[in-house]
Structure 1
Amino acid sequence: MRLELRAKSFGNQPVLGPLTLSVARGQRVALLGPSGIGKSTLLRILAGLDRSFDGRLTAPERLALVFQEPTLLPWRQAEANITLTTGATPARARALMAEVGLAGHEAKFPRQLSLGQQRRLSLARAFATDPGILLMDEPFASLDADTGARMLDLTEALLTRSGAGLVLVTHDPAEAARLGATALRLAGSPAVLG
Structure 2
Amino acid sequence: MQLELEGKQFGPREVLGRISLSVAKGERLAILGPSGIGKSTLLRILAGLDPKFRGRLDAGDRLALVFQEPVLLPWRDALANITLPTGCDRLTALDWLGQVGLAGHENKFPRQLSLGQQRRLALARAFAAGPDILLADEPFASLDPETRERMLALTDALLTRTGAGLVLVTHDPDEAAALKARTLRLQGNPAVLQND
TM-score bucket of the superposed structures, by smaller chain:
over 0.9
* Alignment partner, residue 65 of structure 1: 65
Moved over 6 A (4+): none
* Alignment partner, residue 183 of structure 2: 183
1: CA distance, partners of 2:31 / 2:174: 12
Give the 3-state SS of the residue equivalent to 2:37 in structure 1.
coil
The answer to whether the 8 A contact 1:60-1:132 is kept is no
* Alignment partner, residue 77 of structure 1: 77
RMSD: 0.5
Alignment of 1:38-187 (within 5 A): 38-187=38-187
1: CA distance, partners of 2:60 / 2:111: 33
2: CA distance, partners of 1:150 / 1:30: 19
1: CA distance, partners of 2:60 / 2:106: 30
The answer to whether the 8 A contact 2:61-2:133 is kept is no
The answer to whether the 8 A contact 1:60-1:133 is kept is no
2: CA distance, partners of 1:9 / 1:83: 36
Displacement of 1:129 in angstroms is 1.1
Give the 3-state SS of the residue equivalent to 1:101 in structure 2.
coil
For structure 1, the 5+ residue unaligned runs are: none
1: CA distance, partners of 2:61 / 2:178: 27
Q: Which amino acid aligns with 2:82?
A: I
**CA displacement, residues 2-51 of structure 1 (integer Å, 9 cap, x when unaligned):** 00000000011000000101000000000101111000000000000000
Give the 3-state SS of the residue equivalent to 2:139 in structure 1.
coil
Displacement of 1:107 in angstroms is 0.2
2: CA distance, partners of 1:68 / 1:190: 23
Q: Which amino acid aligns with 2:183?
A: A
Q: Which amino acid aligns with 2:53?
A: F
TM-score (norm. length: structure 1): 0.99
Q: Which amino acid aligns with 2:122?
A: S
For structure 2, the 5+ residue unaligned runs are: none
1: CA distance, partners of 2:150 / 2:113: 16
* Alignment partner, residue 27 of structure 1: 27
Give the 3-state SS of the residue equivalent to 1:136 in structure 2.
strand
Q: Which amino acid aligns with 1:50?
A: D
Displacement of 1:61 in angstroms is 3.8
Give the 3-state SS of the residue equivalent to 1:94 in structure 2.
helix
1: CA distance, partners of 2:171 / 2:107: 35
